[in-house]
Chains A and B, each alone.
Chain A
Amino acid sequence: MKPGDRPQEDFDGLRGVEDTLRGLRREVPPEGLAAGIASRLAQLPSPRRSAWRELWEALQRPQVVWAYRLATFLVLVGIMAGVWRVASRKDAVPAPGQATPAASPAALQTGGAIRPSIPATFTFYSPKAQSVCVVSTFNDWDCARTPMTRGKDGTWSVQVSLPQGKYEYMFLVDGSRYETDPNAMELRQDGMGNENAVLRL
């Protein structure tokens, strides 16, 4: 009996029976029983740890614990960086077909001052059009300065590099029809009943 075990029992009047049971003669196994069992067990497949136990023990190993902590730290840093990046940009992730700004190390020199230039891709789906171009505040609404190229699937596109800023634009189809970018994140009334798409870089 283990120390301190007795107090949890309070079998009044039965102490004598307890002692009698403890004092019962122990049976002795026949000689060779243990050896026989061991030899039969040796013929069985070796026991293996359960998959859950293997996984649990692996997770308890110090190097794994440290790897966990490191991975957690990196994930947190990644999340914070992502949040910061999203918060620092006014526009959200662009949808397909939208004018798409992208970071670029290139620089554009304007008026003697060096300002960073950011590539932006304009796309517009119009498979039946003969020509499409971008008219915008960055090209003085001049169609000839930013013609678009037709892709095999009927999507017209052009990439330009622009200084950081806010630009309004429209697509001019077949030289006569103005179309607002259907995927623009922001629109602005032009005062003549139309809406210009707005691109912020």
Chain B
Amino acid sequence: MEEREVEALLERVLDGEPDRFAPIVEAYTPALFNLAYKMLNGSSETTDVVQETFFRAYRDLGRFDGRTRFYSWLCGICVNVCYDTGKRRRRAWDREQPLPEEGAEAIAVHGPDAEASLMAAQDEAGVRRCLGRLPETLRAALLLRYQEDLSLQEVADQLCIGLSAAKMRVQRGLGLMKECMSARLAGGVP
């Protein structure tokens, strides 16, 4: 859905036509579902998170100032709802400890050929597993950047951090992903 079309619909919603929000829900539900699913490692609470995201967006629509893309704003809300959900089920997440910041077992992989073979060796499930083991702040940054195609500035805006911090999180997340996938390839990580 084009941003102009979204803005026009939002204006009509705020002008007293709430049913104009339905096409927006229809358009963005798949993207938010994908984001929430990966943020929550496929939890059954994903649909609740998507619903809560739209509820919050609808409730606070009057405060959306249009300085960012509406989709970007929605992603930011969704990540926050995921954080809230994650806090509630922290105990259940204990068995999925995040990767240590330093010293993850990794095999030495250098050069474009070696890297290409490494990536090719990763199966989808393995990548998801590595993604799920990241700290949620890094996972959020990677998903917003590479799955939802937000710019680094939009990632920064929606995570309420500076551009350099967003870049650092993405880089750190990519580094940990590489270590995790390398370790999986070497059989060091289940």
Instruction: Evaluate contact between B38 and A47: CB separation under 8 angstroms.
Output: no
Say whether A40 faces chain B, with CB atoms less than 8 Å apart: yes
Say whether A1 faces chain B, with CB atoms less than 8 Å apart: yes
Interface residues of A in 63-102 (CB under 8 A from B): none
Instruction: Evaluate contact between B16 and A46: CB separation under 8 angstroms.
Output: yes
Interface residues of B in 132-190 (CB under 8 A from A): 142-143, 146-147, 149, 151-152, 167, 170-171, 174-175, 177-178, 181
| Residues of chain B lying within 8 A (CB to CB) of residue A18 | 146, 174
Instruction: Evaluate contact between A29 and B33: CB separation under 8 angstroms.
Output: yes
Expressed in whole angstroms, the minimum distance between the Cβ of B48 and any Cβ of chain A is 11
Prevailing SS type, chain B contact patch? helix
| Residues of chain A lying within 8 A (CB to CB) of residue B21 | 38, 41
Chain B interface residue count, Cβ-Cβ cutoff 8 angstroms: 52
Q: Which of B118, B174, B178, B181 has the most CB of A within 10 A?
A: B174
Say whether A177 faces chain B, with CB atoms less than 8 Å apart: no
Task: State which of A24, A44, A48 has its C-beta within 8 Å of the C-beta of B127.
Answer: A24
Instruction: Evaluate contact between A28 and B30: CB separation under 8 angstroms.
Output: yes
Instruction: Evaluate contact between A38 and B152: CB separation under 8 angstroms.
Output: no
Instruction: Evaluate contact between A41 and B151: CB separation under 8 angstroms.
Output: no
| Residues of chain A lying within 8 A (CB to CB) of residue B60 | 47
Nearest neighbor of B42 in chain A, beta-carbon distance: A27
Say whether A37 faces chain B, with CB atoms less than 8 Å apart: yes
Instruction: Evaluate contact between A16 and B118: CB separation under 8 angstroms.
Output: yes
Bound complex: CA of A14 vs CA of B21, how far in Å? 39
Instruction: Evaluate contact between A11 and B63: CB separation under 8 angstroms.
Output: no
Task: State which of A8, A21, A46, A49 has its C-beta within 8 Å of the C-beta of B142.
Answer: A21
Say whether B128 faces chain A, with CB atoms less than 8 Å apart: yes
Task: State which of B18, B146, B151 has its C-beta within 8 Å of the C-beta of A42.
Answer: B18
The answer to whether residues A29 and B18 also contact, given A16-B115, A18-B146 and a CB cut-off of 8 A, is no
Instruction: Evaluate contact between B55 and A46: CB separation under 8 angstroms.
Output: no
Bound complex: CA of A1 vs CA of B55, how far in Å? 28
Instruction: Evaluate contact between B26 and A34: CB separation under 8 angstroms.
Output: yes
Say whether B80 faces chain A, with CB atoms less than 8 Å apart: no
Instruction: Evaluate contact between A48 and B50: CB separation under 8 angstroms.
Output: no
| Residues of chain B lying within 8 A (CB to CB) of residue A1 | 149, 151
Instruction: Evaluate contact between B29 and A33: CB separation under 8 angstroms.
Output: yes
Interface residues of B in 32-74 (CB under 8 A from A): 33-34, 37-38, 46-47, 50-51, 54-55, 58-63, 65
Bound complex: CA of A8 vs CA of B33, how far in Å? 28
| Residues of chain A lying within 8 A (CB to CB) of residue B171 | 11, 14
Using CB atoms and an 8 Å cutoff, list the residues of chain B in contact with chain A. 13-14, 16, 18-19, 21-22, 25-26, 29-30, 33-34, 37-38, 46-47, 50-51, 54-55, 58-63, 65, 115-116, 118-119, 122, 124, 127-128, 131, 142-143, 146-147, 149, 151-152, 167, 170-171, 174-175, 177-178, 181
A–B Cβ pairs within 8 angstroms, 28 of them: A9-B152, A9-B170, A11-B170, A11-B171, A14-B171, A16-B118, A17-B178, A20-B119, A21-B146, A21-B174, A21-B177, A24-B147, A26-B30, A28-B30, A29-B47, A29-B50, A30-B47, A33-B33, A33-B47, A38-B21, A40-B51, A41-B22, A41-B58, A47-B13, A47-B61, A47-B62, A49-B14, A50-B62
- Nearest first, the 6 closest Cβ-Cβ pairs linking A and B are A29-B33, A21-B146, A47-B61, A34-B29, A38-B22, A14-B174
